[in-house]
Amino acid sequence: MDEIQILPMNKRFWITDTISVVTLDANHCPGAIIMLFQEFLANSYDKPIRQILHTGDFRSNAKMIETIQKWLAETANETIDQVYLDTTYMTMGYNFPSQHSVCETVADFTLRLIKHGKNKTFGDSQRNLFHFQRKKTLTTHRYRVLFLVGTYTIGKEKLAIKICEFLKTKLFVMPNSVKFSMMLTVLQNNENQNDMWDESLLTSNLHESSVHLVPIRVLKSQETIEAYLKSLKELETDYVKDIEDVVGFIPTGWSHNFGLKYQKKNDDDENEMSGNTEYCLELMKNDRDNDDENGFEISSILRQYKKYNKFQVFNVPYSEHSSFNDLVKFGCKLKCSEVIPTVNLNNLWKVRYMTNWFQCWENVRKTRAAK
């Protein structure tokens, strides 16, 4: 245990007398970091002689790139020798909106649904799904929906928390679960100034929340959702009977294909160096450091509505990995001598495909530097 060090965020930590590391927020799941290693000559700390950047799993954006560039400028060496890059979505076509855009839009959708009801929101004339289970004597009430947000062991919390902010409700996680303990730790130790969370947001009291963080497998089918509701009945017998509708969200970059506007069809010459370089140049030409240039729209949720399903489940293109265009901007803006992919290495064609794009990024950097 003596060899384990807790690294401070956004500060330089000296590993040895000549090697340091800076940890930066990776815009991924809680605790994920980017690591910038810098090696200096003994007794000469003005300029590093070697720099390595390891992104780990990350979601690049304009602010992150600026932060990295600032740290490089501080030591008068803006060229990174090696970048170990998260290449999960390093394929042209995997382009989805920013996390901010998806979170805001989904949260706004939930608020509209609460205010206007299912019929008006979806233009559906049929009765609420739980209508006939309600007491006939109840004539005026607030439309009550239970929102389920799918998550892995850790990650996707931002979407659930944003919905809670809009609906002014707490976030429910099953009590005595590993997930509850992890979320409590995340909220207690959050150091990200962009996400002002605190532990009071979390609850194990069903009556304090209309937003539940659940394993993604819960949203797999109508039957798995039924099973989850049954487990809630075991916690509180009367809780479920007051729910009129259940709406689930599956947040994943792999769901990007339902919104064709986020895909760019590959041309026949996509692997040609000239075509790829042109694509990069065009993307950088139109770049305004606006991470929401391809905003997510409520219509992308509405078109997934299934009239005859008891429970509605929507795929939303929320990803904690960089999209293809995120990676292109990252690679074209940061000066580096070598890019080393860390994902999708089991296929030789894929490795060559990625290497081709890395060469394009170098071409773009040279072109931009010459202007």
Residue 180 sits in the same domain as residue 249? yes
Residue 57 sits in the same domain as residue 124? no
Q: Where are the alpha helices (DSSP H) in 168-208?
A: 178-188
The separation between CA 167 and the C-alpha centre of its own chain, rounded to angstroms, equals 21
Least Cα distance to 149 among 257, 240, 251, 298 occurs for 251
pLDDT-derived band at 245, boundaries 50, 70, 90: very high
Mean pLDDT for the stretch of residues 190-206: 71
pLDDT for res 134: 44
Residue 124 sits in the same domain as residue 253? yes
Q: Which of 16-20, 97-101, 174-178 has the highest mean pLDDT?
A: 16-20
pLDDT-derived band at 254, boundaries 50, 70, 90: low
pLDDT for res 138: 37
Residue 270 lies in a domain: no
Residue 33 sits in the same domain as residue 88? yes
- Helix crossing, 99-122 with 157-167: angle to 10°? 50
pLDDT for res 370: 82
Residue 115 sits in the same domain as residue 197? yes
Residue 219 sits in the same domain as residue 234? yes
Residue 109 lies in a domain: yes
Residue 115 sits in the same domain as residue 249? yes
CA distance 14 to 34: 16
Mean pLDDT for the stretch of residues 79-92: 96
Residue 158 lies in a domain: yes
pLDDT for res 152: 82
Residue 61 lies in a domain: yes
Identify the CATH number of the domain in which residue 40 sits: 3.60.15.10
pLDDT for res 45: 86
For the chain, the helix, strand and coil percentages under 3-state DSSP, each to the nearest 5: 40, 20, 40
Whole-number percent of the chain with pLDDT over 90: 61
pLDDT for res 141: 41
Residue 328 sits in the same domain as residue 299? no
Identify the CATH number of the domain in which residue 147 sits: 3.40.50.12650
CA distances from 243 to 37, 162, 186 (A): 52, 21, 29
pLDDT for res 238: 82
- The number of domains in the chain is 2
CA distance 306 to 362: 47
Residue 87 sits in the same domain as residue 192? no
Contacts of the segment 205-210: beta carbons below 8 A, 24+ positions apart: 205/170, 205/172, 206/172, 206/232, 206/235, 206/236, 206/239, 207/236, 207/239, 208/169, 208/170, 208/172, 209/164, 209/169, 209/170, 209/171, 209/172, 210/144, 210/145, 210/146, 210/147, 210/167, 210/169
pLDDT > 50? residue 269: no
pLDDT for res 262: 42
Cβ contact 218:228 at 8 Å: yes
pLDDT for res 100: 92
pLDDT > 70? residue 128: no
Residue 189 sits in the same domain as residue 73? no
pLDDT > 50? residue 30: yes
Residue 137 sits in the same domain as residue 189? yes
Identify the domain containing residue 84 by its residue range: 12-93+323-370
Residue 149 lies in a domain: yes
Cβ contact 135:161 at 8 Å: no
Average confidence score pLDDT of the chain? 85
CA distance 194 to 67: 14
pLDDT-derived band at 292, boundaries 50, 70, 90: low
Residue 201 lies in a domain: yes
Residue 224 sits in the same domain as residue 81? no
Residue 283 lies in a domain: no
Residue 281 lies in a domain: no
CA distance 288 to 371: 18
pLDDT-derived band at 311, boundaries 50, 70, 90: very high
Mean pLDDT for the stretch of residues 93-99: 89
Task: Count other Cβ atoms within 10 Å, centred on residue 371.
Answer: 4
Mean pLDDT for the stretch of residues 215-231: 95
CA distances from 66 to 16, 139, 260, 330, 334 (A): 27, 56, 30, 10, 9
Mean pLDDT for the stretch of residues 133-154: 66
